[in-house]
């Protein structure tokens, strides 16, 4: 049985004060535990602060990105070793905002995935199609290409300690959520694609859905057989909404 996961991607939001308030509310809410593994991914500069704020709680720390390099003359970059050093367990790689706004392609994303693993971090690999790709019927080809880039470089076994997040780009921050049926179809495709290489890895792989998940649509999405939780942007910045989403994530029968 796969333990569900709900990860909050704060994107470029937060302040020391806001983070304190948010995590105090989350911790309070977690005095009534949830079945999902709960992860928060603040901006780099707040990782040490948030590591302290979640210490002793069930909340895990993740980063939003990682360098493909390990150390040296890479101004502005942050390595996997540094993320591990400040307490991260997870790191998002290949978010569509990195792919789209910063021209990070499949090969580069795969190298970041590899860098995360070299330092004992669990990557949350984001895949997903643009609106025009969905409309022209190539969603599966796009997702397969993104997934294969990682499996070709690191091997299917590397997904044992990773999480995949299906995030249709047209649904991120737009208020347009994929229907549970649309999301389930792609999640099943992802699991089948991995199963072509290793059925056991595919069965154990947690596949999160991301894209305008809210407290009122989470339950229906998460009840689909191949949806193991969510990667949450906007709604992760409000404790009540985030916790309602976390409570909606329960293991499939
Ligand atoms: C995201 O940033 O990964 C995301 C899914 O954002 P939102 O929930 O705001 O659509």
pLDDT (tens digit, 0 to 9) for every residue of the chain, 253 residues total? 899 999 999 999 999 999 999 999 999 999 999 999 999 999 999 999 999 999 999 999 999 999 999 999 999 999 999 999 999 999 999 999 999 999 999 999 999 999 999 999 999 999 999 999 999 999 999 999 999 999 999 999 999 999 999 999 999 989 888 999 999 999 999 999 999 999 999 999 999 999 999 999 999 999 999 999 999 999 999 999 999 999 999 987 6
- DSSP conformation letters of 185-252: HHHHHHHHHHHTT-HHHHHH-EEEEESS--TTTHHHHHTSTT--EEEESGGGGSHHHHHHHHHH----
Asked whether 211 lines ligand 1 (CB < 6 A), one says: yes
121, 88 contact by CB (below 8 A): yes
Position 49 scores a pLDDT of: 98
CA 94 to chain centre: 9
Domains of the chain: 5-248 (3.20.20.70)
Instruction: Determine which one of 97, 129, 167, 187 is catalytic.
Output: 167
What pLDDT sits at residue 1? 86
Does 147 sit in the ligand 1 pocket, CB within 6 Å?
no
- The question of whether 167 is a catalytic residue gets the answer yes
What count of Cα atoms within 13 Å lies in the side-chain half-sphere of residue 195? Answer: 10
| Residue 37 φ/ψ, nearest 5 degrees | -80, 130
pLDDT of residue 252: 78
In this structure, the number of other CB atoms found within 10 A of the CB of residue 218 comes to 25
232 lines ligand 1 (CB under 6 A): yes
Is the pTM value of this prediction over 0.75?
yes
Please give the Cα distance from 115 to 65 (Å, whole number): 11
The verdict on whether 187 is a catalytic residue reads: no
Tokens of 93: 């790689």
Does the CB atom of residue 173 touch ligand 1 within 6 A?
Answer: yes
Closest residue CA from atom 4 of ligand 1: 233
């Amino acid at each position: 049985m796969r333990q569900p996961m709900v990860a909050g991607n704060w994107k470029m939001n937060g302040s020391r004060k806001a983070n304190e308030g948010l995590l105090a509310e989350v911790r309070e809410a977690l005095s009534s535990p949830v079945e999902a593994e709960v992860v928060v991914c603040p901006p780099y500069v707040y990782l040490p602060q948030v590591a302290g704020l979640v210490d002793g709680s069930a909340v895990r720390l993740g980063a939003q990105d990682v360098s493909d390099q390990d150390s040296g003359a890479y101004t502005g970059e942050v390595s996997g070793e540094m993320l591990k050093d400040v307490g991260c367990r997870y790191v998002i790689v290949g978010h569509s905002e990195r792919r789209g706004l910063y021209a990070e392609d499949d090969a580069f994303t795969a190298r970041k995935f590899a860098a995360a693993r070299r330092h004992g971090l669990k990557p949350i690999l984001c895949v997903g199609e643009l609106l025009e790709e969905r409309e022209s019927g190539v969603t599966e080809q796009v997702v397969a290409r993104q997934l294969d880039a990682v499996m070709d470089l690191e091997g299917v076994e590397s997904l044992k300690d990773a999480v995949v997040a299906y995030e249709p780009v047209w649904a991120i921050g737009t208020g347009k959520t994929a229907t549970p049926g649309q999301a389930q179809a792609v999640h099943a495709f992802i699991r089948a694609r991995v199963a072509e290489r290793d059925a056991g890895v595919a069965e154990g792989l947690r596949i999160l859905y991301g894209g305008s998940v809210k407290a009122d649509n989470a339950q229906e999405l998460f009840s689909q057989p191949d949806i193991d939780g969510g990667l949450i942007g906007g709604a992760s910045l409000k404790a009540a909404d985030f916790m309602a989403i976390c409570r909606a994530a329960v293991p499939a029968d």
